[in-house]
Structures are given as structure tokens and as C-alpha cells.
Amino acid sequence: MTEVLTQEQVARYRRDGYLILERRLDAGTLAALHAEIERYTAKARGLTEGTDELDLEDSHTPDDPRVRRIKLPHTHSEVVRDLMYSDAILAPARDLIGPDIRLHTTKLNMKEAGHGAAVEWHQDFAFYPHTNDDVLAIGVILDDMTEENGPLMVFPGSHRGPVHDHHADGMFVGAMDLGRDGYDMADAVPLVGPAGSISIHHGRIVHGSAVNTSNRARRVLFYEMMAADAFPIMGSMTKFPDIHDYDARMLCGAPTLTPRLEPVPVRIPAPHPPIGKTIYEIQKGAGSRSFDTV
Ligand SMILES: O=C(O)CCC(=O)C(=O)O
């Protein structure tokens, strides 16, 4: 029995590693999220460097503020936090990874018109390997996401393959070398859909996105989560101080002290740059790039 997904959607997710659920957010919630973005971007004016809340584009200046990411928005935005606990987010997640779910992290990637930064190809599971791969990211699509404005792109089925090398010069850089790993960009699928839609991608799927050179913003709010019995493996780029913190991350269902060990491929993301750097900064260490920079 599922709550919101059809058996066909569940089967498709297992096969392809992603889903798009169109128009899942009501207009009021979408408007409230847009208002939150306005509130945060206003805070960027005058800043000379990023803050705990805001990650800034390389081209940001105090007079021409450019926010690249709102960091951990569930910790400072009630709107984002309320949505995180809602069935709009959790019901499809439960249909895919079961009733007991912990939060991994949240982020709102901005990709403003004309300059929003690219994210190089990677697998989330390379950043945070776990004892099983019931790990996924739900993306709340806040602007119409089309092929033009830097949509998230995935390689269907790649979540069933290896965890690829994300190192360069002996350091974890959070980016793959597509050519070396046998992928052809032409096989990537853009995840498109109208504002208010939801994307879901598997933690092991290879994904990335290009610079937004269009004249329309592309903002996506990501909720990343895992089954309660998926425990992090050494070197994970997300640090959980203790079991109390870990259990405080329960989004629904019951916590456990018994990790489920599955024969999933794992690479240790170490040594890695200092914790707290965003993916945009970490990926600057990559030896080759698939996307332009701004
Ligand atoms: O915003 C995007 O297009 C990519 C998001 C992503 O993969 C990430 O932030 O890890």
C-alpha cells in the first residue's frame, strides 16, 4: 500500500532513480516560499562575504547582491520547516523509503537569471555514504524549471551503478569526471516541471546542472533524507555530533539503534576540505569541469 505514489511511479523510481510529481504545492505555500526568498535576498545587500544563512555567488558585490544558496533554511525559516513536516514532502518519501525517516539536510539553491551557478556532476551518496541507500532528495521546484534555466539533470539508472571517484589530487572534490566514468552528456535527462512541482532523486543517481544563462530564475528547495536505519559511514561530509542530534532529525516514524547493512557500493569521501564549505566551493578543486563558470 502506498500513500500518494502509484505502483507504476514506485517501479519507475526503482528503475530510473528519479520522479517528477507535477503541481504538488498549493498557491499559498508557493507564494510564502517566494516571500521567504525575498526576505533572505534583501539581507545580502551590503554583505562582503557569506553568512551562516547565505552562500554568495563569486560575482556578488555588496551593491549587486547575488545569493547562490540559502543554507539549512529549515533552521531559520518557519515556512520551510513547516513544509518539511507536511505530507506534500513526506508522503512520497514514505512510499519510497518506508515510514521511518530522518532529515539529512536542507538547502535552497537559487540559480538566479543570467548567472546562477552550475553544479558539477556528482552523486550525493559520494558525499555521505550510508549503511544502505534508502537515501533521497526531494526538490521543491519554485520557478518553472525548463531546459533553458539550468534544470537539474540526471542520468537515468545510474543509481544502480557504482559510486564514482569524486577525488582529484588525493582530495575529495565532490565532482566526477564524466568522460572517464563512461557517461555521455547527451544521455542526461533534464527534470522539468512547472513551479510547485516536486522532483525526487535517489542518493546514488549521477546529477548536475548548468549555469542559468536564461532570463528566468530557477530556484529549488531541497530536502535530503534517509531511512532511519541508514547510518553514516566514516568520512561522511555531514557530521552528526551524537545520537541525540541524530534522533532529533526524525521527520516521521521511529528511530532505531540497529543500522540496516546492505551490500551497497561505497567510497570514503576523505580526505576532504573543511566542513561547512558548500558544494560550489568544494567542486572548485575538480581537475576538469563539464559546465561553464560565471
Ligand atoms: O541545484 C542544482 O541544480 C543541483 C543541486 C545539487 O545537486 C546539490 O546541491 O548537491
* Cell numbers for 14: 526503482
> Cell 531559520 sits at which residue?
76
Cα(109) to centroid of ligand 1, in Å?
Answer: 7
| Alpha-carbon dihedral angle through residues 200, 105, 293, 181, given to the nearest 10 degrees | -60
Q: What is the pLDDT of residues 135-147, one digit of tens each?
A: 999 999 999 999 9
Residue 175 lies in a domain: yes
Nearest atom in ligand 1 to the alpha carbon of residue 152 is: 3
Indicate if the pLDDT at residue 163 is higher than 80.
yes
Residue 24 lies in a domain: yes
**SS3 for 41-65, per residue?**
HHHHCCCCCCCCCEEECCCCECCEC
Indicate if the pLDDT at residue 294 is higher than 80.
no
CA distance 270 to 280: 18
Domain containing residue 157: CATH number: 2.60.120.620
CB 279 near ligand 1, within 6 Å: yes
CB 220 near ligand 1, within 6 Å: yes
Q: What is the pLDDT of residues 238-282, one digit of tens each?
A: 889 999 999 999 999 999 999 999 999 999 999 988 878 899 999
Q: What is the pLDDT of residues 28-69, one digit of tens each?
A: 999 999 999 999 999 999 999 999 999 999 999 999 999 999
CB 138 within 8 Å of CB 223: yes
The total domain count for the chain is 1
Cα(209) to centroid of ligand 1, in Å?
Answer: 7
| Alpha-carbon dihedral angle through residues 27, 31, 33, 35, given to the nearest 10 degrees | -170
Cα(258) to centroid of ligand 1, in Å?
Answer: 30
CB 138 near ligand 1, within 6 Å: no
Residue 294 lies in a domain: no
- Which of 111, 149, 207, 225 is the best mutation target for the ligand 1 pocket, counting ligand atoms within 8 Å of the beta carbon and taking the most? 207
Cα 265 from chain centroid (whole Å): 20
Report the phi/psi class of residue 118: left, alpha or beta, with left for phi > 0 and alpha for psi in -120 to 50.
beta
Q: Residue 230's closest CA among 269, 208, 204, 261?
A: 261
Q: Which domain holds residue 22?
A: 7-285
Cα(224) to centroid of ligand 1, in Å?
Answer: 11
CA distance 196 to 220: 10
CA distance 239 to 237: 6
Residue 64's identity, in one-letter code, is D
CB 5 near ligand 1, within 6 Å: no
Residue 220 lies in a domain: yes
Q: What is the pLDDT of residues 176-223, one digit of tens each?
A: 999 999 999 999 999 999 999 999 999 999 999 999 999 999 999 999
CB 237 near ligand 1, within 6 Å: no
Q: Residue 198's closest CA among 7, 33, 77, 15?
A: 33
Q: What is the pLDDT of residue 293?
A: 81
CB 221 near ligand 1, within 6 Å: no
CA distance 268 to 261: 16
Residue 290 lies in a domain: no
